[in-house]
């Protein structure tokens, strides 16, 4: 494994395998069964849209499905074999029948680009113009379509309208409502749901297998706060996420600002892995704002319905 050139992705978490390197997937049994079934029946749609919240396991599932197809697995939906030559090539980004499109790392700025550009999609066009290996499948994983520029999205749409033979697009989206309706309509939509509590526990135990178990109370809180999201669970358990959530909750519970909490939070967000922690902080704040707005909206609608029921007949008579 030391000879594998691990490829960086814009949303990688240090110490956690990226989807193209991870040969273990937990959960999503129904989706895996469905994918195995359509392969068995020979009715795989030319474009699959994997939709679900960020960190739910869409990209990992995409690479696993690609491996099953490219290594000609015939029974069910198998997890990639550790010593598989095809899987090692996928890990290296060198398998000739697979291209992975995501936000590239800019060597000049030393940062990841903020979008998938039309130039990235031209790589797909070049890839599809090449002769496939042994007349086999050519698979394009777009991760994620939410990051595509308008021109990139239009270029992908054109390819979806006239798909080449034995070409499979696996398009990943965290929010399908942001996609062009014409792209959605040309894909078979596959929704990935949050994991159950036992599956989240398995995810955490697997990642922390070399570090020892976490105590039951912490595990309980991580499961509750993660809401079935593996990525969020790992951030909560391993990267100070639980501390950030608890600090925010403490802020909201107090009527007077606690300077000690402010100082501790500032130290947490300025640590060596501050980018990951700051993103967790922003996500948690936005999540709480969203929940508050939804609560107020539901409350307002409830009051509106009560008033309409109470006064509606009078308005009708008039």
- Note whether 245 and 236 are within 8 A (CB): yes
Res. 70 pLDDT band, cuts 50 70 90: very high
CA 210 from chain centre, in angstroms, equals: 25
Best mean pLDDT range from 88-92, 102-106, 129-133, 302-306: 88-92
Give the CA radius of gyration of the chain.
23
**Which homologous superfamily is 29-191 in?**
P-loop containing nucleotide triphosphate hydrolases (3.40.50.300)
Res. 231 pLDDT band, cuts 50 70 90: very high
Cα within 13 Å of Cα(81), Cβ side: 9
* DSSP-assigned beta bridge partners for residue 141: 100, 170
pLDDT tens per residue, range 141-191: 999 999 999 999 999 999 999 999 999 999 999 998 889 999 999 999 999
The pLDDT score that the predictor gives to residue 274 is 66
Sort strands 47-51 and 167-173 into parallel, antiparallel or unpaired: parallel
CA distance 111 to 100: 19
Res. 6 pLDDT band, cuts 50 70 90: very low
CA distance 54 to 20: 16
Tell me 170's DSSP state. Answer: E
**DSSP secondary structure letters along 191-232:** EPPPPPHHHHHHHHHHHTTTT-PPPHHHHHHHHHHHTT-HHH
Q: Which of the residue ranges 44-48, 61-65, 93-97, 233-237 would you say has the lowest mean pLDDT?
A: 233-237
- Note whether 143 and 102 are within 8 A (CB): yes
Three state DSSP letters for 13-82: CCCCCCCCCCCCCCCCHHHHHHHHHHHHCCCCCCEEEEECCCCCCHHHHHHHHHHHHHCCCCCCCCCCCC
Q: Which residue has the tokens 């890839």?
A: 127
Domain ranges of the chain: 29-191, 197-300
């Amino acid at each position: 494994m030391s000879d594998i050139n691990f490829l960086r992705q814009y949303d990688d978490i240090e110490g956690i395998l990226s989807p193209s390197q991870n040969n273990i997937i937990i959960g999503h049994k129904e989706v895996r069964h469905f994918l195995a079934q359509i392969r068995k029946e020979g009715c795989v749609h030319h474009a699959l849209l994997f939709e679900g919240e960020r960190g739910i396991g869409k990209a990992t599932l995409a690479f696993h499905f690609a491996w099953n197809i490219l290594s000609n697995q015939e029974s069910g939906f198998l997890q990639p074999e550790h010593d598989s030559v095809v899987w090692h090539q996928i890990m290296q980004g060198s398998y000739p029948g697979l291209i992975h499109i995501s936000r590239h790392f800019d060597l000049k700025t030393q940062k990841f680009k903020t979008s998938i550009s039309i130039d990235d999609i031209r790589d797909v066009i070049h890839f599809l113009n090449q002769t496939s290996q042994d007349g086999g499948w050519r698979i394009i994983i777009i991760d994620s379509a939410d990051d595509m520029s308008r021109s990139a999205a239009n270029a992908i749409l054109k390819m979806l309208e006239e798909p080449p033979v034995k070409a499979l697009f696996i398009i990943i989206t965290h929010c399908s409502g942001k996609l062009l309706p014409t792209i959605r309509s040309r894909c078979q939509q596959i929704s990935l749901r949050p994991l159950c509590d036992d599956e989240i526990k398995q995810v955490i135990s697997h990642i922390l297998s070399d570090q020892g178990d976490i105590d039951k109370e912490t595990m309980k809180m991580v499961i509750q706060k993660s809401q079935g999201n593996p990525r969020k669970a790992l951030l909560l358990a391993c990267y100070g996420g639980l501390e950030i959530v608890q600090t925010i909750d403490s802020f909201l519970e107090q009527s007077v600002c606690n300077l000690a909490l402010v100082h501790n939070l500032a130290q947490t967000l300025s640590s060596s892995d501050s980018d990951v922690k700051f993103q967790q902080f922003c996500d948690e704040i936005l999540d709480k704002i969203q929940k508050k707005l939804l609560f107020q909206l539901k409350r307002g609608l409830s009051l509106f319905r009560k008033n309409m029921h109470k006064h509606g007949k009078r308005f009708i008579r008039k």
